[in-house]
Chains A and B, each alone.
Chain A
Amino acid sequence: MTAAGIGGRFAIAGLGVTEQGLRLGRPSRDLRREALELALADAGLTRRDVDGYIGTSSEAFDDIRHLGLAPGFAYTLQSGGATATLSILNAIGAILTGQASTVVCMYGVAISGGTARVDGSKGGYGTFAYGYPRLYGFIGAGMTHALHARRHMHRYGTTSQHLGAVAVAQRAHAALRPGTLGYGKPITLEDHQSSRLVVDPFRLLDCCRDTDGGVCVIVTSIERARDLRSTPAVVLGVGTGHNMRNWWTGDVYDLHDDIEPAKHKAFGQAGITVDDVDVAALYDPFTISVIMQLEAYGFCAPGDGGPLVASGATRLDGAIPTNTGGGQLSGFYATGFTAVVEGLRQIRRESGATQVPDAQVALVSGHGGNGGIQNTWAHATMVLGVDR
């Protein structure tokens, strides 16, 4: 089978999303247990149908015991914010090679209370190895993404107001989406501009917040998915990239993600161009992420991402509705699963007041693994579609 032949042969047949929010007061593995049960119920499957397990936020070994599963394999995958889509890619690989027919990809953590994600004491810069930048006060993902934003402003004249336009547009979506951080709370550009500077050019409203929550997706063949309870969301294509490529060329700060090879693979499998994308769910821990990804995918020319968003293009009535659930900025932070969930909801017609009418193709992105000598390393792109 050629790589292009993979597109359209696999589907997400089950989706389970728990409550997502600040300090839910529930253990991580209880969130995973609920997410699993929601996904199984959605698909009309039982625990015994699950023959493959990919964890993304925990040790898989004990997880499957607690969850009551007996799969043929279970392992934990960790590649930062790209992990969500990479887990689906690995699930497809397992099915293709005969290891399983029904694979659970699992996320679930309680990170918003108690232990801080950023250990600012010793040995760490966002807890990743290579912490010498910590000597100079580099801690966490905000600073590393701000390095991209500064370059973008320097090269293209992008402004804080452009960044603010991302925050305002996504909050407008979240304001209409129950269960998100921004539900019922729209903001204005003035609100953005008056929020305090955190890591210049980022203000408070340029940054997402960690939330607790669980997400489970069930991957299977398109044929099997059609026999199950829920509406299949077809995986039309998946692609990967890695920013180390751009580290060697010195372009790493000017390229937020290594999107080009990922887009080439994913769009090639799907047989689409950027013009075919009806809705985008982009990994967005900080506002600059949306601007730079819109450019890298070709929704506009390099440097035009700020004006594009400021023109309203990412709103529901715009050319490319983006992060229609509020994204990580205003929705919830389930790392890469935030974008996966919204892509699925759009294809499943479950996006409520921010449903894009007749959305046929959804673009999902994830990036991450930041820390140490550079920001974001791994990237994954996924194209989801309606079963025709």
Chain B
Amino acid sequence: MTDRTLRPMDLVPDELDAPFWEGCKQRVFLVHRCVACDRAYWPASTCIDHGSSAMQWQPASGRAEVFTYTVVHHAYDRSLADKLPYAATVVKLDEGPFFHTDIVGCAPSDVHVGMRVHVVFESVDDETVIPHFTPDTDD
């Protein structure tokens, strides 16, 4: 599913998110958590109540719910033409933050708000592992 011309660190502003993408290589989905108040964030953030001193990357459940999505029928870039149609999706992680992703393992037309999903990892190459989300079997 992934556009293989792209690597995560080509797309994020700096190395502050690197631990997340390193975690993906270990098949671990991380969130950035303020251990002072236990609030979880994604991407790399500064707690709105406690600043940066208590922020840590911590493993998350990898479980989430589809919050909103759009089924894309138009290739905004040539590299995406073969992928159409696809469900560009925002999930709400069980830990709280939103995460932009896509839904694999079901037809785009089956994606719906509130659908329970969990993370699956795709090895693009030796250096790149991308998280996707797929429906829970009992949804």
Q: Which residues of A contact B (CB under 8 A)?
A: 118, 120-125, 129-140, 142-143, 146-151, 154, 196-202, 248, 250, 253, 373-374
Please give, as numbers and ranges, the residues of chain B lying within 8 Å of A133 by CB-CB distance.
88, 100
Alpha-carbon distance A202/B48, docked complex (angstroms): 35
Please give, as numbers and ranges, the residues of chain B lying within 8 Å of A148 by CB-CB distance.
68
Contact B11 A131 (CB under 8 A): yes
Alpha-carbon distance A118/B43, docked complex (angstroms): 23
Of the candidates A129, A135, A150, A196, the one whose C-beta lies within 8 Å of that of B73 is A196
Alpha-carbon distance A137/B101, docked complex (angstroms): 9
Contact A150 B68 (CB under 8 A): yes
Alpha-carbon distance A149/B71, docked complex (angstroms): 12
Task: Answer whether residue B2 sits at the interface, using C-beta atoms and an 8 A cutoff.
Answer: yes
Binds A, one of B25-33, B51-59, B75-83: B75-83
Please give, as numbers and ranges, the residues of chain A lying within 8 Å of B70 by CB-CB distance.
143, 146-147, 149-150, 199-202
Contact B100 A150 (CB under 8 A): no
Alpha-carbon distance A367/B60, docked complex (angstroms): 34
Task: Answer whether residue B12 sits at the interface, using C-beta atoms and an 8 A cutoff.
Answer: yes
In this complex, what residue of A is CB-closest to B124? A135
Alpha-carbon distance A133/B11, docked complex (angstroms): 8
Chain A at the B interface: SS class: mixed
Task: Answer whether residue B37 sits at the interface, using C-beta atoms and an 8 A cutoff.
Answer: no
Contact A151 B68 (CB under 8 A): yes
- 28 contacting pairs across A/B (C-beta < 8 A): A120-B79, A121-B77, A130-B13, A131-B11, A132-B8, A132-B11, A132-B12, A132-B43, A134-B3, A135-B2, A135-B8, A136-B1, A137-B76, A147-B70, A150-B68, A150-B69, A151-B67, A154-B68, A198-B73, A199-B72, A200-B70, A200-B71, A201-B70, A202-B70, A248-B48, A253-B67, A373-B43, A373-B98
Contact B68 A140 (CB under 8 A): no
- Distance from A386 Cβ to chain B, minimum over Cβ atoms (Å): 41
Contact B77 A139 (CB under 8 A): yes
B88-123 Cβ-contact flags toward A at 8 Å (1 or 0)? 111010001010111000000000011000000000
Contact A147 B43 (CB under 8 A): no
